[in-house]
Amino acid sequence: MDCNETTDHHPPLFLASGIETTEVFRSYWKLAAERQKIFFKRFHGEPAPWSNDPILLQHKFTNAYRASDRVSQYLIKHVIHEGEQSSKEWFFRILLFKFFNSINTWEWLSCKLGGIHSDEFSFEAYDEVLTAAMETGRSIYSAAYIMPSGGMGSPYKRKHKMHLALLARMLAYDLPDKIAQAPDMRSVFWLLRQYPSIGDFLAYQYATDLNYSPLTNFSEMDFVCPGPGALDGIRKCFSDKGGYNDEDLIRIVADRQQEMFSQMGLEFQDLWGRPLQLIDCQNLFCEVDKYARVAHPEMNQLTGRTRIKHRFEASRELLLPWYPPKWGINNRIWGNREGGESNSTSWTIHLNPETKF
């Protein structure tokens, strides 16, 4: 079933008493199922195109699972599980990487500095490398989401200087140890939230990224904080929220995902036994907001945005996913690859599934 199929003849989906859903909410589940189908088709080495949905063929959307996205995969494999394994180093590497959210910037810093270590962190040295990169025309920040500059009160004219100073301040205030001792994910969120330029959205994203590492070990079903894009998606999915707040709606959606897929008659292949988590459902609301700009243009009046910025470009990059070992799914993934389920024998991997890349 294509995500773009017209469903005007279908009654609204029932989520909970008092909640009234729209056609966009139907697209939410179709998008989740279709995007995950694309993921597995690529995993099994099938050639493009991986979907019949014209919107997904033309525009770029994130994976149904946040941890499956290219940047998150790089973070998990290389930033977290390469180098010294300690609370301070995990925190330092993750925050440094996520401030820029750019694989190219991380590799540029690693190359120019001979490695990335918290004990050798120098504002001046890192600033020199990043400034030189900018002067040669390099873009050091990802365009995935806009990073705040620190505001008019910031003493730094360039944003990267503010982020380097912020990282130094976090280390000086022993934030890695405080996070390691935090009782829950919400506490990590508030520890991050108190620092300049880090609002609700970034605090939640960083808390999630830190939780990929052994620094913390919280369930991704413990806490959620919707970002601006997710809030737009929620507005398009529900004509009446039934008195629930946005966080409650995301939790209800996550809790009732199997029932929703069943109501829609959709087959959803989860992540080797791991259902969609709160962070994934939150992200999907952001993605369906984008999807609806084309599929449901009558809803654009709610947000004022009418187009999807990024175009989809098929990549030939081999998809070999690897997730936090504490999730306990890597053995299943790599067993599938070595079990001959793909026609592409060149994809066979001969590594321990829990190998630290």
Please give the structure tokens belonging to residue 49.
Answer: 């195109």
The larger pLDDT score, comparing residue 101 to residue 300, is at 101
Instruction: Quickly state the pLDDT bin for 334 (edges 50, 70, 90).
Output: confident
Strand partners, 285: none
φ and ψ of 310, to 5 deg: -95, 130
Task: Work out the pLDDT band at 2, boundaries 50, 70, 90.
Answer: low
> Could you give the angle at which helices 228-237 and 278-295 cross, rounded to 10 degrees?
60
Mean pLDDT of the chain: 88
Cα–Cα distances in angstroms (integers) from residue 187 to residues 99, 108, 178, 315, in the given order: 20, 33, 10, 39
More confident of the two residues 105 and 3:
105
Confirm if 283 and 66 have CB atoms less than 8 A apart: yes
d(CA 66, CA 161): 28
- Give me the pLDDT at residue 162, please: 94
Reported confidence tier of residue 11, pLDDT bands at 50, 70, 90: confident
CA distance 20 to 240: 5
Q: What's the confidence (pLDDT) of residue 215?
A: 98
Closest CA to 296 of 306, 286, 310: 306
Find the helix packing angle between 23-43 and 228-237, rounded to 10°: 120
- The C-alpha atoms of residue 159 and residue 324 are separated, in whole angstroms, by 31
Mean pLDDT value across residues 54-58: 91
Q: Which two tokens stand for residue 315?
A: 């990549």
297-311 tens-digit pLDDT: 998 777 767 665 656
Residue 274: what are its φ and ψ, rounded to 5°? Answer: -100, 115
Domain ranges of the chain: 20-67+226-302, 86-211
Is the pLDDT at 333 greater than 80? The verdict is yes
Measure the CA–CA gap between 215 and 232, rounded to whole angstroms.
Answer: 32
Q: Is the pLDDT of residue 314 over 70?
A: no
Which residues, at least 6 apart from 6, have a Cβ–Cβ distance to it below 8 Å? none
Is there a contact between 56 and 288 (Cβ–Cβ < 8 Å)?
no
- Find how far residue 186's CA is from the centre of its chain: 18
Q: What percentage of the chain carries pLDDT values higher than 90?
A: 74
